[in-house]
Amino acid sequence: MRTSSSSRKRGADAERRARWFYRLRGYRILESNAWAGGHELDVIARRGRRLVFCEVKAKLGEGYGDPAEMVGEEKQRRLWRAAETWLVQHPELAGLEVRFDVVAVTPRGLVRVADAF
């Protein structure tokens, strides 16, 4: 599969905005674009005892749905597997409370669904 450079740039911009979204809310970004278990985790952030794995979606135009709609059953399974693998690689973080968020960056702004799945 080929990804055009403009859509890659759009994805990178969306991830940068998502990182700032979390930073401004007191989270520390532990890693971004982390590969684990054969899948990518876009943003991993921590605040206190809470660890957030965030899937970032960049959307052009108005025809987008709910961010939560963009992460279906198979994608959820992959993100779970990636997060589990990442946590095995970071045993010091194993006891933290884990949350999965979905962030959609659209022309109208950033929408976050916290604890999405």
Partner 1 sequence: MVVAGVLFDYETLRDHRVRPLTGLNDSKQLTKEEREGLFGAVVSCAQSFTVRVISPAEIDRNGLHRSNLEGMRSCLHSLAPPAEACLVDGFRLGPAAPEHLAVVDGDERSAAIAAASIVAKVVRDRAMRRMDALFPHYGFSSHVGYITPRHSAAVRERGPSEVHRRSFQALCYEDLVELEEARS
The residues that touch partner 1, with contacts defined as CB under 8 A, are 37, 65-69, 72-73, 76-77, 80-81, 84-85, 87-88, 94-95, 97-100, 111-117
Asked if 54 contacts 110 with a C-beta cutoff of 8 angstroms, the reply is: no
Q: Which is nearer to partner 1, 26 or 95 (CB)?
A: 95
Q: Residue 8 or residue 68: which is nearer to partner 1 going by CB?
A: 68
Note whether 41 and 31 are within 8 A (CB): yes
Pairing relation of β-strands 39-47 and 50-58?
antiparallel
Residue 8 or 94: which CB sits closer to partner 1? 94
